[in-house]
């Protein structure tokens, strides 16, 4: 397993899409706060407000959509390049192969997801001043949750990525899925009341509660932390089970 | 010591209504170069895919290095190198980076093997050129380098000389022969370039419509390929009459271009030439010849088309 992780990490660091997305987010993290200097509003925002409204606010979409692109290139392209064949025939069992792929992909998704909350908070503090920073406990809780949700969504992406053998199809499907999935789920919750608690306690809904982690009850906090972990474990199991049966083309 | 590197026992693979493999029982001896012959869709790649773990068999079993249980077979695959349906490369990486990724995957200690393997296939000077910019021949060589990484005992090569120029074909052939001779690497090679296989293989397996119709050694093939005397004279009709009368045989053919194929007295060409010259014929061409692998293969496959009992040849 160790050697598979090393091989996957090596491939991730050489992956052009990962490098491109990292640079794109880094540039966005440096440049985006500068908009506040020219938005017509009097004065500059406090960093803690900017963190909640401008960084955490839209971050759910970034966390779901940006790693979808990486999934297509990092996972599915192994099929189109034929390299999945050499992986499977290399004397490693499929559980280890899938697990290593998922773990390193999740790590990539986590790194991408953390760029804005960490770098953008830093640059906004430089631009707006260090006086009104977010509370450290709140900040670290949100960072921890972003990490967990990035891994949970990565596990969902990985399952779909092994179903397709074409990177373009994977990226297209995942982007469409994550853009539109909230609406049918909410509709289903309205039509089928028994489904409502399931949706409320799923990563699709809970991801929007990251910014209010300091306001939720301790029971809800347990769900907020526990559900992404359970999702990751469950989707890992589903992914392994699919990959074990899959014929590698 | 395992006498056989690979042994399949009634291996079958069914896709919906198609039998891609039908009770295939082949044997690959340690140290042999096994030429796997068949038309497109005959089942060559399917068999290779099953052995390498890309697909699971519908029926039957196989032994790899004498290992039969799934876990043991997976472990035994560490001792093989593969090219399956084309080289498996990361196009954005250089040759060295491609080998490094595979070195890590196989858990091979030390980076020295990368330079050594690249040198073996003649790709040591590709520098920062990415694999996507390689020619087809260079990609094949890199695929072979990946297969050779970690000194495998068994190479499984599916069409490894596709896209190589004539010099490249010769180099790869010599390399494979050297690997087989000096390192005792067993090789399973499938190719549609039968003339090339003929120069390389020590054993053959002929597969047709999912069935292994024959396995034979190069020596056996030589014995089975029909030998004849290729004769060109100034008067073929007269020569035919002389052959019939003096050699008391009708086992010959006069081709449309006047060439006579004589299937008897192949071991005594001097006697035949003397008979013809004694009768005043001028011999323009005279040489012993034999069917090659291509003709033999075509006859075997054609035989089935005409309903001949090729099953009798199964091993």
> What is the interface pTM, i.e. ipTM, of the complex?
0.83
Tell me the residue range of the domain where A66 lies.
2-245
Candidates B65, B73, B77, B92, partner chain A, best to mutate (most A CBs within 10 A): B92
Measured distance CA(B138)–CA(B259) in Å, rounded:
43
Query: B69 — contact with chain A (CB < 8 Å)?
Result: no
Q: Which of B77, B86, B104 sits opposite A91 (nearest CB)?
A: B77
Residue in chain A closest to B53 (alpha carbons) equals A89
A86 and B102 within 8 Å at the Cβ level: the answer is yes
Interchain CB contact of B77 with A (< 8 Å):
yes
pTM of the model: 0.81
Supply the pLDDT for residue B303. Answer: 52
The CA distance from A186 to the nearest CA of chain B, in Å, is 39
Quote the CA–CA distance of B173 and B170 in Å, as a whole number: 5
CATH number of B4-216: 3.40.50.300
Q: Which two tokens stand for residue B295?
A: 């003709």
At residue B28, does pLDDT exceed 90? yes
What is the distance in angstroms between the Cα of B198 and the nearest Cα belonging to chain A?
Answer: 28
Identify the pLDDT of residue B164: 77
Q: Spell out the residues 6+ positions from residue A240 whose beta carbon is closer than 8 angstroms to its own.
A: A94, A95, A98, A99
- Mean pLDDT, residues A28-37: 88
| pLDDT of residue B262 exceeding 50 | yes
Using an 8 Å CB-CB cutoff, list chain B residues near A244.
Answer: none
Q: Is B136 on the interface with A (CB under 8 A)?
A: no
- CATH 3.30.70 residue ranges of chain B are 226-290
B73 close to A (CB below 8 A): no
Helix (H) or strand (E) holding B49: helix B44-51
The pLDDT score that the predictor gives to residue B311 is: 37
* Mean pLDDT taken over chain A: 90
Pick the residue from chain B with its C-alpha nearest to A87. Answer: B105
pLDDT tens-digit series, residues A180-196: 888 888 888 888 888 88
**Is pLDDT at B310 greater than 70 in this prediction?**
no
Q: Which residues of A touch B49 (CB under 8 A)?
A: 247-248
Share of chain B above pLDDT 70, in %: 95
* Residue B12 pLDDT: 92
Does the beta carbon of A4 lie under 8 angstroms from any beta carbon of chain B? yes
Instruction: Return mean pLDDT, chain B.
Output: 86
Element (H, E) at B78: none
In this prediction, residue A238 carries a pLDDT of 95
Residue B115 to residues A114, A126, B48: CA-CA distances in angstroms?
Answer: 38, 48, 28
Distance of alpha carbon B238 from alpha carbon B254, whole angstroms:
11
Instruction: Check if A7 contacts B (Cβ < 8 Å).
Output: yes
Please check the confidence at residue B67 and state whether its pLDDT lies above 50.
Answer: yes
In contact, B89 and A85? CB cutoff 8 Å: no
Measure CB to CB from residue A90 to each of B56, B77, B87 and give the nearest one.
B77
CATH 3.40.50.300 domain locations along chain B: 4-216
Cβ contacts of B87 on chain A, cutoff 8 Å: 82
Segment 160-199 of chain A within 8 Å of chain B by CB: none
pLDDT of B219:
81
| Per-residue confidence (pLDDT) for residue B159, from 0 to 100 | 84
pLDDT digit string (tens) for B140-154?
889 989 999 988 999
CB pairs under 8 A between A and B: 84
Q: Which of B78, B93, B97 sits opposite A91 (nearest CB)?
A: B78
In which band, very low, low, confident or very high, does the pLDDT at B290 lie, cut at 50, 70 and 90?
A: confident
> Could you tell me the two tokens for B228?
């004849």
Strand order in the sheet with B33-37: B80-83, B154-158, B186-190, B33-37, B203-208, B211-217
More confident residue, A6 or B315: A6
- What's the average model confidence in pLDDT over B23-47? 90
The class (CATH top level) of B226-290 is alpha beta
Number of structural domains (chain A) is 1
Q: Give the phi and the psi of residue B120 in degrees, each rounded to 5.
A: -55, -40
């Amino acid at each position: 397993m160790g050697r598979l992780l090393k091989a996957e990490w090596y491939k991730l660091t050489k992956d052009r899409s990962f490098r491109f997305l990292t640079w794109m987010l880094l540039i966005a993290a440096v440049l985006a706060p500068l908009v506040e200097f020219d938005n017509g509003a009097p004065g500059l925002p406090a960093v803690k407000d900017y963190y909640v409204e401008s960084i955490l606010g839209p971050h759910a979409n970034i966390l779901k959509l940006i790693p979808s692109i990486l999934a297509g290139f990092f996972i599915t392209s192994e099929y189109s390049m034929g390299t999945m064949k050499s992986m499977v025939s290399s004397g490693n069992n499929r559980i280890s192969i899938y697990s290593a792929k998922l773990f390193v992909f999740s790590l990539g998704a986590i790194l991408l997801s953390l760029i804005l909350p960490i770098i953008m908070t830093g640059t906004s503090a430089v631009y707006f001043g260090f006086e009104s920073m977010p509370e450290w406990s709140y900040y670290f809780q949100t960072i921890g949750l972003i990490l967990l949700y990035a891994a949970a969504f990565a596990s969902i992406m990985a399952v779909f990525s092994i179903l397709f053998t074409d990177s373009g199809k994977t990226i297209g499907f995942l982007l469409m899925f994550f853009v539109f999935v909230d609406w049918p789920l909410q509709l289903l919750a309205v039509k089928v009341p028994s489904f409502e608690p399931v949706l409320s306690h799923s990563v699709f809904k809970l991801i929007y509660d990251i910014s209010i982690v300091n306001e939720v009850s301790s029971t809800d906090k347990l769900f907020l932390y526990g559900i992404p972990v359970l999702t990751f474990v469950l989707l890992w199991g589903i992914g392994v089970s699919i990959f074990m049966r899959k014929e590698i083309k | 010591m395992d006498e056989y590197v690979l042994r399949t026992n009634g291996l079958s693979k069914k896709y919906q209504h198609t039998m891609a493999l039908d009770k295939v029982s082949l044997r690959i001896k340690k140290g042999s170069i096994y030429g796997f012959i068949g038309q497109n869709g005959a089942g060559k790649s399917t068999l290779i895919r099953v052995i390498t773990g890309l697909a699971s068999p519908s029926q039957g079993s196989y032994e790899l290095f004498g290992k039969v249980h799934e876990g043991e077979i997976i472990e035994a695959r560490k001792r093989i190198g593969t090219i399956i349906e084309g080289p498996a490369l990361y196009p954005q990486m250089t040759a060295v980076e491609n080998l490094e990724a595979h070195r890590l995957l196989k858990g091979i200690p030390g980076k020295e093997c990368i330079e050594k393997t690249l040198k073996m296939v003649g790709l040591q000077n590709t520098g920062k050129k990415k694999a996507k910019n390689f020619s087809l021949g260079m990609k094949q060589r890199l695929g072979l380098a990946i297969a050779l990484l970690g000194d495998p005992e068994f190479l499984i090569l599916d069409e490894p000389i596709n896209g190589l120029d004539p010099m490249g074909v010769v180099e790869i052939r010599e390399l494979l022969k050297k690997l087989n001779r000096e390192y005792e690497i067993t090789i399973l090679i499938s190719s549609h370039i039968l003339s090339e296989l003929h120069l390389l293989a020590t054993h053959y397996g002929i597969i047709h419509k999912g069935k292994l119709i024959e396995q034979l050694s190069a020596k056996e093939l030589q014995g089975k390929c029909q030998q004849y005397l290729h004769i060109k004279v100034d008067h073929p009709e007269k020569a035919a009459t002389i052959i019939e009368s003096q050699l008391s045989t009708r086992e010959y053919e006069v081709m449309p271009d006047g060439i006579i194929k004589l299937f008897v007295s192949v071991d005594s060409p001097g006697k035949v030439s003397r008979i013809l010259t004694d009768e005043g014929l001028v011999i323009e061409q005279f040489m012993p010849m034999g069917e090659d692998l291509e003709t033999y293969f075509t006859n075997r496959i054609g035989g089935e088309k005409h309903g001949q009992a090729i099953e009798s040849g199964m091993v």
